[in-house]
Amino acid sequence: CHTVMAEFFAKSPHAKVFAAMGLPGCATCHENHAVQRAGDEMLGLGDKAVCASCHSASDQSGKSAAEMRALIDSLRNESDKAQATLLRAEEAGMEVSQAQFDLNDAKNAVVKARAAVHTFSVGAVKKEIDAGLGVSAKAGARGARALDELRFRRVGLGVSLVIILTLIAALVLKIRQVDRRQRSSVES
């Protein structure tokens, strides 16, 4: 990942600006000695965002940083929702293992988007996010269909149970009726 990120950074507008200012590439945002663990909170304009040290909500680069952060957050949220739906379906006994496996592609898209952040291009990040959102939507839809099928099965089971119990009750009544007829014909 670091090689890919370094290549992205080298082609980015920040590489030239940092060089002109005499700032080191990676260490400018990630520090040199007190290296920060990379995380989504570093992106955007929040309290822990390194972008906020040079950019604000009023400049285009600050807006881009905030947009990239929002894109990554949206994919993580959609992926988490799809995972929760699939987990509910799995816990209910439905077969969703393929959808759960496919959802790994959304996690990979988050990783690729995080790397693409180093291009400082919203379009590059959005490309990865859109792919992941598509995967998350499909996986979530599979989970929802599995839960719908489960509800259909439960309703069908309930209806079948009512029919079976009704037939048993009718049979018991018919047997009693036949028994009464036989007893009354024997007594006569």
Q: Which two tokens stand for residue 2?
A: 């670091």
pLDDT of residue 43: 83
Give first-to-last CA distance, the chain, whole Å: 97
Longest dimension (CA), the chain: 118
| Amino acid at the residue 112 | K
- Alpha-carbon distance of 15 to 29, in angstroms, equals 12
Task: Decide: helix, strand or coil at residue 93.
Answer: coil
pLDDT of residue 158: 97
What is the b/e burial string over 114-126, where b = at least 16 CB atoms within 10 angstroms of the residue's CB? bbbbbbbbbebbb
pLDDT of residue 34: 66
Task: Decide: helix, strand or coil at residue 188.
Answer: coil
- Nearest Cα to Cα of residue 117 among 37, 168, 44: 44
DSSP-derived secondary structure for 6-72 = HHHHHTSHHHHHHHHHT--HHHHHH-SSSPPPP-GGGSSSSTT-SGGGT--TTSHHHHHHHHHHHHH
This prediction has a pTM of 0.75
pLDDT of residue 16: 77
Q: Note whether 85 and 137 are within 8 A (CB).
A: no
One digit per residue, the tens of pLDDT, for the chain of length 188 reads: 577 777 777 778 777 777 777 777 776 677 766 666 777 888 888 887 888 778 888 888 889 999 999 999 999 999 999 999 999 999 999 999 999 999 999 999 999 999 898 888 999 999 999 999 999 999 999 999 999 999 999 999 999 999 999 999 999 999 999 999 888 888 77
- How far, in whole angstroms, is CA 120 from its chain's centroid? 25
pLDDT of residue 118: 85
pLDDT of residue 2: 76
CB-CB neighbours of 97 under 10 Å: 10
| Cβ within 8 Å of residue 6, ≥6 positions away | 25, 26, 118
